[in-house]
Amino acid sequence: MFENLSERLSGVFDKLTSQGALSEDDVKTALREVRVALLEADVSLGVARDFVKAVTDKATGQAVTKSVTPGQQVVKIVHDELIAVLAGDGADAGALKIDNAPAPILMVGLQGSGKTTTTAKLARRLKEREKKRVLMASLDVYRPAAMQQLAVLGTQIGVDTLPIVAGQKPAEIAKRAKQAATMGGYDVYMLDTAGRLHIDDVLMDEVQQVRDIANPRETLLVVDGLTGQDAVNVATEFEDKVGISGVVLTRMDGDGRGGAALSMRAVTGKPIKFVGLGEKMDALEEFHPERIAGRILGMGDIVALVEKAQETIEAEQAERMMRRFTKGQFNMNDMRLQLEQMLKMGGMEGIMGMMPGMGKMAGQAKEAGFDDKVLTRQIALIQSMTKKERANPALLQASRKKRIAAGSGLEVSELNKLLKMHRQMADMMKKMGKMGKGGMLKQAVK
Ligand code: GDP
């Protein structure tokens, strides 16, 4: 999967990384090529555009890291952005919700998408990996062969299927499956609904009926990854009409262009949970954005190199800062960095908790209403200061304070609080320096 896209991108990046210095034009040209490569891989226009914009913004805003070339740095940015596009906010990625036995899983999709095959693959996976007792039922009353197919697959993988009763409607079969799963002590029951060649109202009505009976924990849409943009459109329609919890992209073993995988999350807001990689029963993989991004770019070495370099730089910066702090040089730029770190590290409580002897202060801070919103506001105040003021907060007299507070839409009293906190921190750091070797401080700035 992704061979073509991968090849195209590596062409672009080989050129970029072999150059020592890069002009803005070099990067622009490269990103234009990235955009074309994405479009050729059938990534939707909006997604490709947003992608390139995000990369451009990040590449422009980033300081050049020592010991890697700018090209290598761009590769890393593209890599991270790929993961972001594939993973979205990542909130609902990962395992299926199958607690509360028997947990119903509804399988939906167009005919020929690989729905029945995927149902069986997934059942096998739940049985083998999670030791679940699974019952599968086919609701495809239009094609007796489809029911038969599921029964055959069930026998093959050692998973039970609901006995076929001729003449029943999908809703009736769903009820029977629910009953059988409850009575039979199954952990999961899977409903393989009928597909059509195209989305139509009858199909949607039927799926809705079944959904309302089963009240599924997961509704997985199976789509053919080879159909590219269409797969994304189908997903959008199913999401609108039925509501889905995730997507399984099949035929990702083919030489498809893979764009569906890249657009899916951004366009539908739904995660890809699994990918189908062949006809065999074990050809199903969990979808890992990092792994896929790695495969698309095929530049793991460079990504690792840049990560390492960034870590080294951060450590050096921390050392330098520490030396200055212990000499009493702690200005507003440092303060801002500290505040940003605090936000990253779980706020005030998080960082105080890491500093020995400061647990109490964390408690006090909380009592005083010092939450993460305060941190954000304080950062805004620092942003409203001039360069000179940041370097030398002693300059901040009444008129300057008024200007700064107004500039960030906050009260002067809030600025005073920030200044007080700054003084306390500066003092504390100086003292710690005297106490020896900055051991505690090291934890705080890291
Ligand atoms: P349904 O009509 O949606 O139930 O589709 P089927 O499950 O019957 O699958 C249709 C065909 O696609 C079958 O020949 C499957 O073996 C094949 N198929 C399903 N998933 C994959 C996959 O991930 N890769 C490949 N290469 N073939 C697949």
Task: Give ipTM to 2 decimals.
Answer: 0.98
The number of domains in the chain is 3
Is the confidence at residue 21, as pLDDT, over 80?
A: no
Pick the more confident residue, 299 or 163. Answer: 163
Q: Calculate mean pLDDT across residues 310-321.
A: 75
- Cα–Cα distance between 404 and 323 in angstroms, integer? 29
* CB-CB neighbours of 149 under 10 Å: 18
Q: What is the domain range of residue 223?
A: 103-286
439 plus 376 within the same structural domain: yes
- Cα–Cα distance between 211 and 205 in angstroms, integer? 10
Tokens standing for residue 199: 């989305």
Distance 279 CA to ligand 1 centre (A): 6
Distance 112 CA to ligand 1 centre (A): 6
Distance 62 CA to ligand 1 centre (A): 45
Please identify, among 286, 314, 344, the residue that sits at the C-terminal boundary of a domain.
286
Q: For ligand 1, say whether the CB of 438 is within 6 Å of any of its atoms.
A: no
Q: For ligand 1, say whether the CB of 278 is within 6 Å of any of its atoms.
A: yes
Residue of 108, 117, 125, 286 best suited for mutating to test ligand 1, as the one with most atoms within 8 Å of CB: 117
* CB-CB neighbours of 63 under 10 Å: 7
Q: Is residue 96 assigned to a domain?
A: no
119 plus 228 within the same structural domain: yes
Q: Is residue 179 assigned to a domain?
A: yes
Q: Is residue 367 assigned to a domain?
A: yes
Look up the CATH number of the domain holding residue 441: 1.10.260.30
> Is 90 assigned to a binding site?
no
Predicted pLDDT at 438: 45
Give buried/exposed letters for 394-423 (b at 16+ CB in 10 A, else e): eebeeeebebbbeebebeeebbebbbebbe
Q: Is residue 331 assigned to a domain?
A: yes
Nearest alpha carbon, ligand 1 atom 6: 114
Predicted pLDDT at 354: 55
The pLDDT confidence band at residue 444, using thresholds 50, 70 and 90, is: very low
129 plus 223 within the same structural domain: yes
Strand 284-286 with 272-276, pairing: antiparallel
Nearest alpha carbon, ligand 1 atom 16: 279
Look up the CATH number of the domain holding residue 23: 1.20.120.140
Q: Respond yes or no on whether the N-terminal peptide bond of residue 170 is cis (omega within 30° of 0).
A: no
Task: Give per-residue pLDDT as tens, 56-97.
Answer: 888 776 666 666 777 777 888 888 888 888 887 665 555 788
Task: Give per-residue pLDDT as tens, 250-303.
Answer: 998 876 667 888 888 888 888 899 989 899 999 998 888 888 888 777 666 666
Is the confidence at residue 355, as pLDDT, over 60?
A: no
Q: For ligand 1, say whether the CB of 113 is within 6 Å of any of its atoms.
A: yes
- Cα–Cα distance between 174 and 180 in angstroms, integer? 10
Q: Which residues contact 223 (CB under 8 A, 6 or more apart)?
A: 109, 110, 113, 231, 234, 235, 247, 248, 249, 250, 260
Q: For ligand 1, say whether the CB of 196 is within 6 Å of any of its atoms.
A: no
Nearest alpha carbon, ligand 1 atom 5: 114
Q: For ligand 1, say whether the CB of 251 is within 6 Å of any of its atoms.
A: yes
Q: For ligand 1, say whether the CB of 245 is within 6 Å of any of its atoms.
A: no
Taking the CA of residue 113 as reference, the ligand 1 atom at the shortest distance is 3
Q: Is residue 292 assigned to a domain?
A: no
Q: For ligand 1, say whether the CB of 279 is within 6 Å of any of its atoms.
A: yes
Is the confidence at residue 437, as pLDDT, over 70?
A: no
What average pLDDT does the chain have? 83
Taking the CA of residue 252 as reference, the ligand 1 atom at the shortest distance is 23
For tokens 């730089």, name the residue: 313
Distance 422 CA to ligand 1 centre (A): 63
Q: Is residue 317 assigned to a domain?
A: no
Q: Is residue 243 assigned to a domain?
A: yes
> Is 434 assigned to a binding site?
no
199 plus 271 within the same structural domain: yes
Q: Is residue 58 assigned to a domain?
A: yes
Q: For ligand 1, say whether the CB of 117 is within 6 Å of any of its atoms.
A: yes
Distance 115 CA to ligand 1 centre (A): 7
Look up the CATH number of the domain holding residue 174: 3.40.50.300
Predicted pLDDT at 441: 47
Task: Give per-residue pLDDT as tens, 144-157.
Answer: 899 999 999 999 99
Q: For ligand 1, say whether the CB of 256 is within 6 Å of any of its atoms.
A: no
Taking the CA of residue 283 as reference, the ligand 1 atom at the shortest distance is 23
Of the candidates 235, 239, 247, the one whose C-alpha atom is nearest the C-alpha of residue 275 is 247
125 plus 256 within the same structural domain: yes
Strand 134-138 with 188-192, pairing: parallel
Distance 276 CA to ligand 1 centre (A): 9
Taking the CA of residue 278 as reference, the ligand 1 atom at the shortest distance is 24
200 plus 122 within the same structural domain: yes
63 plus 86 within the same structural domain: yes
258 plus 397 within the same structural domain: no
CA distances from 251 to 43, 71, 228, 256, 280 (A): 17, 33, 11, 8, 11
104 in Cβ contact with 216 (< 8 Å)? yes
- Say whether 161 sits in a helix, a strand or coil: strand
Q: In what order do the strands lie in the sheet with 134-138?
A: 160-161, 134-138, 188-192, 103-109, 218-224, 246-250, 272-276, 284-286
Q: For ligand 1, say whether the CB of 114 is within 6 Å of any of its atoms.
A: yes
CA distances from 372 to 134, 347, 350, 382 (A): 46, 6, 11, 16
Q: Calculate mean pLDDT across residues 179-196.
A: 93
- Cα–Cα distance between 120 and 146 in angstroms, integer? 12
256 plus 178 within the same structural domain: yes
85 plus 111 within the same structural domain: no
83 plus 113 within the same structural domain: no
114 plus 260 within the same structural domain: yes
Is the confidence at residue 120, as pLDDT, over 90?
A: yes
Distance 401 CA to ligand 1 centre (A): 68
Pick the more confident residue, 430 or 388. Answer: 388
Q: For ligand 1, say whether the CB of 253 is within 6 Å of any of its atoms.
A: yes
For tokens 């647990």, name the residue: 359
- Cα–Cα distance between 109 and 146 in angstroms, integer? 14
